[in-house]
Amino acid sequence: MSRYPLALDLAGRRAVVIGGGAVAMRRAAALLEAGALVSVVAPAVLPELAALDVVVHQRPYRPGDLGGAWLAHAATNDPAVNAAVAAEAERSRIWCVRADDASASAAWTPAVTRHGDVTVAVTAGGDPRRSQQLRAAISLALADATLPLRPRRGASESSASESSASESSASESSASGTGERRGCADAADTATADAHRRGARSGGGAPMGSVALVGGGPGDPGLITVLGRRLLAEADVVVTDKLAPRGLLAEIDPDVEIVDAGKAPHAHNLTQDAINALIVSRALAGQRVVRLKGGDPFVFGRGGEEALACVRAGVQFQVVPGVTSAVAVPAYAGIPVTHRGLTQDFAVVSAHLDPSHPGATVDWESLARGPGTLVLMMAVAHLEQIAAELVKHGRSGATPVAVISDGTTPGQQVLTSTLGQVAQDAARRGIRPPAVVVIGEVVRLRDLLSAA
């Protein structure tokens, strides 16, 4: 039977999620984004889920929990509980999405991609991988303008803002994405997809996965490369850093495992050795791993160490360059790192250590006398000491400086100052990482080039 595609206005309406794990968290986040009033019921709830703007009932599900709901999600790992939730929803005439069994579900969540005011939802005969690949292809076509979509002049939001691709063929009508088990796609297509996902095979014939070290760009999800977005859509496991664009994770299907490696200063969720071991072990188990990083994997991203770990283990890997924050963040703020007549060179420096620290190896004396533009990464914590060191070695205290925090994102802030005053100004403004510091005459161009 063909399914009936429909977009729901859930703003201000109650939705209930039964379950407290990773799938439940993604369902709840999507409902919140749609404006729903979300209640979560589960004996145990992930801290990340509890931290969302939801009402949590930390206990087992019991009949009556769906009272007053417009929509329910059964997202536990217990089929009996999910079946009971679905049965209550059916009796109460509440649409219910089952995460464990699409064939027993009365409602389905499609694979979704959004571009501006266009939303595309894809289902594909009960095969989440195929739905994901179709969604990825459409998303890429929209992203690179192969499939241009522009609002019609005078069209209302309701008629112009939603586009639904709910059937990938006349015979495909079941759910996609969240909660589906792999369906019966064409055998040749399935074999090709499996071969692509598993990558090369070892000499003994055992399936082997692969690792993609993907640069996610400086913060704006739209700045990832087309190849990076495609590999992300095809991944079995995504290992992400704190600075990787989190908006990209919203498009990943719930059956894809997401591992948060953290990598915040002094608060790593996983050590680098643990990350290396993780990506290698998952690839050796036949999975397609994406290591998603902020900026570029090889610019202060320790991507080289992860690549070497793959080489030592005999794991197939590829590096997908990313737009580095060192250049992109200043550009977004209206500051070119080079400019004819001002400077022909620039240096990018990891400034995470106090210059007086015994382990510090940066030659601040040469930098003070050398390149016209200095771009400092991870410098906020030691900005006062770094500025003093540069002034001590000859850089004028009147040199223009910009500190750009949360660059390329809606929360971007730009502080302009001078080398002699920037530490005090940054402290007064409460500037916090992540931030890029630009030192040099090019900072003066911001007033002319910035749209802010």
Structural domain boundaries of the chain? 14-107, 109-150+160-185, 196-323, 326-449
Tokens 């996965």 correspond to: 209
Measured torsion, CA atoms of residues 422, 423, 424, 425, in degrees rounded to the nearest 10: 40
Q: Please give the pLDDT value at position 310.
A: 97
Q: From CA 167, how far away is CA 141, in angstroms rounded? A: 18
Q: What's at 369, amino acid-wise?
A: R
State yes or no: is 263 an active-site residue.
yes
Helices (H), 57-184: 79-91, 128-143, 157-160
Its sign, for the CA torsion 158, 159, 161, 162, is positive
Q: Please give the pLDDT value at position 357.
A: 87
Q: Please give the pLDDT value at position 202.
A: 42
Per DSSP, the residues of 27-79 read: HHHHHHHTT-EEEEEESS--HHHHTSS-EEEES---TTTTTT-SEEEE--S-H
Catalytic residue among 236, 253, 263, 293: 263
The CATH H-level superfamily of 196-323 is Tetrapyrrole methylase, N-terminal domain (3.40.1010.10)
Q: Please give the pLDDT value at position 102.
A: 81
Q: From CA 10, how far away is CA 93, in angstroms rounded? A: 16
Catalytic residue among 100, 241, 253, 296: 241
CATH number of 14-107, picked from 3.40.50.300, 1.10.357.10, 3.40.50.720, 3.10.20.30: 3.40.50.720
Q: What is the pTM of this model?
A: 0.63
The CATH H-level superfamily of 326-449 is Tetrapyrrole methylase, C-terminal domain (3.30.950.10)
Q: From CA 250, how far away is CA 34, in angstroms rounded? A: 13
Tokens 């496991």 correspond to: 237
Contact call for residues 148 and 136 (beta carbons, < 8 A): no
Could you say which DSSP state residue 398 is in? T
Q: And the tokens for 244? A: 């990787």
Backbone φ, ψ for residue 164 (5° rounding) = -115, 120
Give pLDDT tens digits along the chain (452 positions): 677 888 899 999 999 999 999 999 999 999 999 999 999 999 999 999 999 999 999 999 999 999 999 999 999 999 999 999 999 999 999 999 998 888 888 998 888 888 777 888 888 766 777 888 888 888 878 776 567 654 443 443 333 334 443 333 333 333 333 333 222 233 333 333 343 444 443 444 556 899 999 999 999 998 999 889 888 888 999 999 888 888 888 778 778 899 988 755 555 578 999 999 999 999 999 999 999 999 999 999 899 999 999 999 999 999 999 999 999 999 999 999 999 999 999 999 999 888 888 888 899 999 999 878 999 999 999 999 999 999 999 999 999 999 999 999 999 999 999 999 999 999 999 999 899 999 999 999 998 887 54
Q: From CA 117, how far away is CA 160, in angstroms rounded? A: 8
State yes or no: is 241 an active-site residue.
yes
Q: Please give the pLDDT value at position 267.
A: 52
Backbone φ, ψ for residue 255 (5° rounding) = -80, -5
Helices (H), 166-220: 187-198
- Burial of 392-423, coded b for 16+ CB within 10 Å and e otherwise, reads eeebeeebbbbbbbbbbbeebbbbbbbbbebb
Nearest CA among 374, 380, 224, 376 for reference residue 295? 224
Q: Please give the pLDDT value at position 143.
A: 72
